[in-house]
Each structure stands twice: as C-alpha cells, then as structure tokens.
Amino acid sequence: MPEQTRKLAAIVFTDIVGFTKLSAGNEPAALALLEKQRELLKPIVEKHGGSWLKEIGDGLLLSFETTKEAVHCAIEMQQVVKEVENLNLRIGIHQGEVVFQGNDVIGDDVNIAARIEPFAAPGGVAISGRVNASLERDPDFETHYLGQPQLKGVSQTVKAYCITSHGLPKTDMSKVNAKLEPEGFQWNVKNTIGIAASMIGLFMLINFMFLRIGYADKD
C-alpha cells in the first residue's frame, strides 16, 4: 500500500464542456481532444509547480502547494485552450488539508473542489471561499460571489466565487446545474442553534434561581 501523506494543498478539478456529446457522436475526435488537452496543459501545470495526479474521463485532478500557483495555472490554461476547438474547460479550485497516496489524493476538501468546478462558466474558473480569501488583497484579481453550494455530507461551510479578472467570464447561474443553498440558509441554521442554546441557558438560569430562592425560604 502506498505511503500516505497529509498536508495542506490547493486542489484543482477540470472538465471539458460538451465532451459527452462529442464522444457519443465522434469517438476518434474525442480521443484526439484528450490527447490535445494533455499535450497543451501538462507543461503549464509543471511550469507552475503543480502535480498532474490523474485524468478522470475528460477531467483532470491536479494539486499545488499554494492557491496562487493553482490560480495562475488555471488562468494560463484557459488562455491557452480558448482558441482550440471543443476544448472548453470549466475549472474549480479549493484549498484544504488532504491525504496524498501515490498518484491520488483523498479527503473532504478534494470532494469540495470537485463540487466547486460546476460553478465555473465555460472558459472560466470557480473558487472556494478559502481561495478567494487568498486573493482579496491582490489588486490584480477580481471575483464575484455566487453563493453557498449544496454539499450533502460536508460539515464545513463552503462559499463559491468565480474569478472575473484576467479576461475570464462571469458565471451565469441560470446555466449552472449544480444547486445553491436557499438565500439565508446559513443565517437560519446558525441562529436556530444559537437561539436553542440561549433558551437552554435561560431555562437553567431560571431553574437555578428558583432553587436558590427555595433554599433561602427554608433557612
């Protein structure tokens, strides 16, 4: 069994828009497109210090030591492929503590990166709140808040953004199949828990005061 290493990393997922339709209608062209993707993108990933972990169908799973390296790589990839017919990428980036095992990486934060990717426009880059936080003080970057993705089985709060600088397109949410939590969802959950905790605390305080009064009367 390969040795496992846990560390903080920026995880990148990519997807070719319309690839399923292309492969169903013209399999040789689809295979040639995958080869073209490999030829164009692998040198860019290496240039930015990334690891080409594996290809998942038409998608890629990449890792970087920093979010800045991941973001700069994603932008360059989009700039390179935009002139290539049918090579329309969506890219998602998230940072978190993950476990590397051979040429694979596992963990909740890997799953989050995969679920951020559908929020990118074709030709665009979607990022999580953690990645956005690392870009906020950089004047070269502009981002747009999209919302909070519905992530079943994930305990942490995740927010999705898209990068709108560097010629990247803003996500049109009407064309995104992935779902967001209803507006105000986080407020409702947090406040429901907070109110419940306050009520329990108040009940315990009142109960304690009545006990004190009862003991005082006995004295």
Per-residue model confidence (pLDDT) at position 182 = 86
Same domain, 195 and 166: no
| Structure tokens given for 22 | 């292309």
Task: Give residue-wise pLDDT tens across range 110-143.
Answer: 999 999 999 999 999 999 999 999 999 999 999 9
Same domain, 195 and 99: no
Same domain, 112 and 214: no
Same domain, 101 and 166: yes
Same domain, 48 and 77: yes
CA angle in degrees (0–180, nearest 5) for 148-150-151:
110
Task: Give residue-wise pLDDT tens across range 153-176.
Answer: 777 889 999 999 999 999 999 999
> How would you class 117 by CB atoms within 10 Å of its CB: exposed for 0-12, middle for 13-18, buried for 19 or more?
buried
**Domain span holding position 29:** 4-181
Task: Give residue-wise pLDDT tens across range 11-69.
Answer: 999 999 999 999 999 999 999 999 999 999 999 999 999 999 999 999 999 999 999 99
For 127, phi then psi, to 5°, come to -135, 160
Same domain, 59 and 155: yes
Neighbours of 169 (CB within 10 A): 15
Same domain, 186 and 95: no
Same domain, 32 and 67: yes
Same domain, 201 and 124: no
Same domain, 176 and 91: yes
For the chain, the average pLDDT equals 88
Number of domains in the chain: 2
Task: Give residue-wise pLDDT tens across range 74-90.
Answer: 999 999 999 999 999 99
Cα–Cα distance for residue pair 131/93, rounded to 1 Å? 7
* Cβ partners under 8 Å of residue 59, min gap 6: 13, 14, 15, 16
Per-residue model confidence (pLDDT) at position 206 = 58
Integer angstrom CA distances of residue 44 from 10, 17, 28, 62, 187: 16, 20, 25, 12, 41
Same domain, 25 and 115: yes
CATH of residue 169 = 3.30.70.1230
Same domain, 106 and 13: yes
Specify whether the CB–CB gap between 98 and 132 falls below 8 A. Answer: no
